[in-house]
Chain A
Amino acid sequence: QSALTQPASVSGSPGQSITISCTGTSSDIGSYNLVSWYQQHPGKAPKLMIYEDTKRPSGVSNRFSGSKSGYTASLTISGLQPEDEADYYCCSYAHTRTWVFGGGTILTVL
């Protein structure tokens, strides 16, 4: 199972919106509504931000939203804040009863 494809980095200024894409195949993203997104600050454990493509866990800011079209899932962060600067990973269930992560995207808040 190959890793999902994410851009290596994205950037934005405070207050702006950014979108991180995550592209898979018919074996994972294209077949299930089971994409999750994780935020990871340096030296810290990942944190769940979005699950089941679009759902937000309790306690996660509504500035974070998820969407999906075809084989590509997206995470959008609106009203960028300095504390959003982190690495972001998508993850999807795959046909083979396994899970696969994306390569990760470094978000820089300028």
Chain B
Amino acid sequence: EVQLVQSGAEVKQPGTTMKISCKVSGYTFSDRYMHWVKQAPGKGLEWMGLVDPEDGETEYAEKFRGRVTMVADTSTDTVYMELSGLRSEDTAVYYCATGWARHFMDVWGKGSTVTVSS
């Protein structure tokens, strides 16, 4: 069974950097793509980016380019998403979601809640 286990909730100060992890199990790490999706409180889903664990290739939404980094660690079967320059608008639940093809996400993590507050 494909499973994604995300890191726990965090409170971060404005201007700092958050790093969320997503550990996978139940499949060969390099066989599936990993997306990251943001959901602000009471808002819809927002695509942030994609990493291909096979070669580390990334694609980022224009809105987050320059602030986001997604990395796949093949030694631990874990994908990381780092977002810098945090501001209050970054308060959200962040999901990792995987698919055996690039263009859809058939298994989702439970989400990691990040609160940005001073």
B103 near A51 (CB under 8 angstroms)? Answer: yes
A64 interface residue, CB < 8 Å from B?
no
- Does A91 reach chain B (CB closer than 8 Å)? yes
Closest to B105 in A: A48
A-B CB pair tally, cutoff 8 Å:
64
Chain A residues with CB under 8 A of B97: 45-46
Q: Which of B62, B104, B105 contacts A52 (CB 8 A)?
A: B104
Give the distance to chain A from B65, nearest Cβ to Cβ, in Å. Answer: 10
Cβ contact within 8 Å between B95 and A45: yes
Contacts of B61 in A (CB 8 A): 1, 98
Using a CB–CB cutoff of 8 Å, the interface residues on chain A facing chain B are 1, 3, 32, 34, 36, 38, 40, 45-48, 51-52, 57, 87, 89, 91, 93, 96-104
Give the 7 A-B CB pairs with smallest separation, nearest first.
A104-B44, A45-B108, A51-B104, A36-B104, A34-B103, A99-B47, A101-B45
